[in-house]
């Protein structure tokens, strides 16, 4: 649904879903967990349905107010998914926590390492990677090596852990 709302995120959720599913296979997760993870990848940006298109598709720098609105989408993702019994719990958390960071600098809840599961962090790091390699209104997509270098710096700065970064590299290289 969200990929159809904004041309700049077209296929974003599909790409993220494929990467997290590949990581699930690398980790040797059972089919049920792997499929739930894939669903979380597809649904992670569902909350963007409440974000106006003029903000989603803006080519220039976002204002503070616009960025605040964008930052609310993971909250709405989790809120929506928690209303559906089959999605409440793991899928809702994996999808809704994709902008949280282990150093508590993420959003919307400022969760840290102790509150984030490995699979929360996997969805988050895959979202960053998928976003970096895609064209956006404000820039062209980056190459795989450049994207991984940026994420490596994020690991060095304490935003992600080496564990999920190594899984990402195995899935995309």
40 membership: H or E segment, kind and range: helix 31-43
- Determine the Cα–Cα distance for residues 16 and 69; give it in Å rounded to an integer: 22
**Torsion, CA 80, CA 135, CA 162, CA 37, rounded to 10:** 30
CA pseudo-torsion sign 160, 163, 168, 173: positive
- Determine the Cα–Cα distance for residues 168 and 37; give it in Å rounded to an integer: 14
Backbone angles phi, psi at 105, to 5 degrees: -90, -5
48 is catalytic: yes
- Determine the Cα–Cα distance for residues 43 and 160; give it in Å rounded to an integer: 21
- Determine the Cα–Cα distance for residues 68 and 107; give it in Å rounded to an integer: 10
Active-site hit among 48, 78, 88, 162: 48
Q: Which residues are catalytic?
A: 48
């Amino acid at each position: 649904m969200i990929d159809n709302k904004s041309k700049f995120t077209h296929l974003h959720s599909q790409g993220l879903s494929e990467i997290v599913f590949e990581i699930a296979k690398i980790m040797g997760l059972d089919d049920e967990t792997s499929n739930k993870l894939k669903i979380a990848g597809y649904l992670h940006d569902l909350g963007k349905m409440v974000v106006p298109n003029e903000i989603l598709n803006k080519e220039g720098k976002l204002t503070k107010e616009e960025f605040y609105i964008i930052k609310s989408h993971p909250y709405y993702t989790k809120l929506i998914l928690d209303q559906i019994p089959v999605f409440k719990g793991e899928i809702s958390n994996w999808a809704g926590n994709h902008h949280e960071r282990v150093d508590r600098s993420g959003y919307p809840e400022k969760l840290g390492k102790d509150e984030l599961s490995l699979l929360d962090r996997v969805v988050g790091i895959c979202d960053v990677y998928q976003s970096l390699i895609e064209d956006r209104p404000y820039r062209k997509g980056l190459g795989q090596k450049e994207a991984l270098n940026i994420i490596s710096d994020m690991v060095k700065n304490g935003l992600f852990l080496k564990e999920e970064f190594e899984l990402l590299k195995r899935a995309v290289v």
